[in-house]
Structures are given as structure tokens and as C-alpha cells.
Amino acid sequence: MRDERAGGGVLSRRPGHEGLDEDDVRVRPGRGTRPRTRRRPAHEDAPEGFVVSIDRGRYGTLTEGRVVIAMKARELGHRSVVVGDRVILAGDTSGDEGTLARIVRVQPRTSALRRSPDDTDPVERVIVANAGQLVIVCALAQPAPHLRFIDRCLVAAYDAGISPLLCLTKADLAAPREVLDIYEPLGVSCLVTRRPLTDEQIAPLCTALSGRISVMIGQSGVGKSTLVNALVPDAGRVVGIVNPVTGRGRHTSSSAVALELPGGGWIIDTPGVRGFGLGYVSPRRVVEAFPDLAGPAADCPPGCDHLDEDCGLDEWAREHGAQARLDSLRRLLRSREGAESP
């Protein structure tokens, strides 16, 4: 007898793929994903966790108000799990000392901050998931501002669809004007902090971070830890409780960690990340971040990198009095080339 339901649907079964249902129709072939089978356990009422730390294959996940340590389930294969991911847990999710849950699924990401090992390597690795904001911390002195680093962070942020926030520290040592003149024409949100880091100093940053997931990046010595300690007064303790399984009290220097802000939201510190390889970012992706430039850029010669004489953006900038904005955009585009490190 013919099964009416099986034959008549839009999602008719493909030869050689018996037993698949519409869940198997994927937009992209996911690495490590497998077709649904009868043996696959149901995780429908399994709790969801938020990955706050990673240490040698152990994932600290905030789950229903407690920190549950978990490992990746075998069924995840090579699928990456990073700080900021929302994951479905199975097994012992009590969070009791010595217990270990399993991560059985990773929820779709709203954003993915990536790096490639270097500019020529097309393989990209996700560093942080679901962040809405990239806080680029740069000192105005000691160490001197590293503008190329800022440019590259901006490119990575625009590519990931994450809004950047430039935080200029140590304004007690040097004035911020020159740096602001480069980035304000792009419409980048900028904040300036100085010592002593009073509540008044930190308040604008608190407001900017409130209720969002922000990831912080900056070179060593620019004042990231100083800011985090001011934002999250018990930051040291929060990090310390994350790893009861291994007994290690602190996260390793290379791993990211998410800290909950007292006013709501999360700040993710990325101690091991000192920059981005941008080999995978196209000029088009960068220009798309600036809606007023995307229109005129579409009239450029095919494949225009927007750096040469025949680029149509020069005329647009003259007509709109936007030379500073175009200069800043070109800084960003040029920062994609050459070596990553300072």
C-alpha cells in the first residue's frame, strides 16, 4: 500500500538517504553533523547552558544559575564549542563537585568572531560566539597607541557583524585627540578613561556594556585587567570557581573567559588573542559595514579594492565632504595586508 504522507510532500525522500526527515535538510553541510537516527537520544527537555570558560577540554557552562562543568559529547564530532556558545547539556547537570555533564548540541550562533592563523591561511577559527560588541582597548601611552592593531580589530568586527567600541585608556598620560580624529569619522563609538579609575570614569563603559555580550581585546599592558577589575569587583573569585573538576583555580592564559557584569550582560576577556589574521575578509565585507559607502562602492570598476586611482569613492568623498571618512576606510582596507603582529 502506498504511503500518502511519504510521497506527496515537498521534502520527498532522496534516494540513498532513507529515513531522513526535514531536519536533515541543511543550508550548509555542517562538519561533524550526522543524520538523525532512531538511536539518537532525545534532548528536548535538556537544560541549556552558556559557555563561560574553557580549560583543556572542560567547558564551564552557566546552567540554570549554577556552573556545570561539561565535556563535548562524541556526537558533536569536530564541531567547535567556544566561550559565548549556548549549548544543550545531557548527563549529570547537577553541577556538584566532581560531576561532568556532556554538551550534546550547540545552538545556532548570532555572531562568530574569527581569526585565521595568519593572513594567507584561509582556514578560520571561531574565537568567541554570540558577542554583540567588540571592545578594542588601546592605551594612549605606555604602550604607545598601535593604530594598525585598532584597524585590524575593526575589520574583524565589521566582518563578524559585531559593533566595535574603542576604549582609549591612560588619558592621564597622553591626550586622545589625534586617535579620536582617525576613528570618529568612521562613526566608531569611542570612550576615554584615565587614572584614577573612579566610578565616574567607569560609568560610561558600564552603560555601554550593560545587557550585552561584549568581547574585549587589546595588547598586553593597555589596561584590560584594570578595567575588568573595576567592572566586575569579584572577577578573581568568579574565575576561581569555574573549574572544580580539575582543581585548577585559574583559567589558563590562552583561554577566553566570560564574566557576568553586576548591571547585567557579559564581558569576555580574551587573554590569548593578540590580533586577527584577516586573510578571509573581502574588501566588500568591510565596505558593507558603512551603508553610505556601499552605494557608491557598487559603481566602482569590477573587483575594485578601493585603494587605487580609478576608485569611484574619491569623487563621492569630494561631493560629500567626506575625505576623512574615506581616508579612515582606506586605513582599514590596507590593514588587511601584511603581517599580523606589531
Interaction partner, residue 172 (Zn ion, Mg ion, ligand GDP, none; CB < 5-8 Å by kind)? ligand GDP
One-letter amino acid for residue 327 of the chain: D
CA 236 to CA 217: how far, in whole Å?
18
Q: Taking contact as CB under 6 A, which single stretch among the options 50-58, 157-165, 188-196, 232-240 is the one that binds ligand GDP?
A: 188-196
Q: Which residues pair with 90 in a beta bridge?
A: 102
One-letter amino acid for residue 328 of the chain: S
Closest distance of CB 114 from ligand GDP, Å: 22
Q: Using alpha carbons only, what angle is made at residue 126 by residues 125 and 132, rounded to the nearest 5 degrees?
A: 150
Interaction partner, residue 287 (ligand GDP, Zn ion, Mg ion, none; CB < 5-8 Å by kind)? none
Please count the residues of this chain forming the interface with Mg ion, following the rule CB under 5 A.
2
Taking CB under 5 A as the rule, does residue 201 contact Mg ion? no
Q: Are 306 and 317 in contact (CB under 8 A)?
A: no
Among 30, 221, 262, 272, binds ligand GDP (CB under 6 A): 221
Interaction partner, residue 188 (Mg ion, Zn ion, ligand GDP, none; CB < 5-8 Å by kind)? none
Q: How far is CA 259 from CA 62, 126, 229, 301, 312, in A?
A: 11, 19, 10, 47, 45
Q: Taking contact as CB under 6 A, which single stretch among the options 69-77, 78-86, 193-201, 283-291 is the one that binds ligand GDP?
A: 193-201
Taking CB under 5 A as the rule, does residue 300 contact Zn ion? yes
Site for ligand GDP in 151-180 (CB under 6 A): 169-170, 172-173
Taking CB under 5 A as the rule, does residue 224 contact Zn ion? no
CA 118 to CA 321: how far, in whole Å?
36
Site for Mg ion in 210-229 (CB under 5 A): 224-225
Q: Other CB atoms closer than 10 Å to residue 87's CB: what's the count?
A: 26
DSSP 305-316: -S-STT-THHHH
Among 88, 168, 222, 278, binds ligand GDP (CB under 6 A): 222
Greatest extent of the chain over all pairs of C-alpha atoms, in Å: 84
Among 80, 99, 110, 226, binds ligand GDP (CB under 6 A): 226
Taking CB under 5 A as the rule, does residue 80 contact Mg ion? no
CA 180 to CA 59: how far, in whole Å?
39
Q: Are 244 and 98 in contact (CB under 8 A)?
A: yes
- C-alpha grid cell, residue 97: 563537585
Closest distance of CB 197 from ligand GDP, Å: 6
- Binding-site ranges for Mg ion (CB under 5 A): 224-225
- Binding-site ranges for ligand GDP (CB under 6 A): 169-170, 172-173, 193-195, 218, 220-226
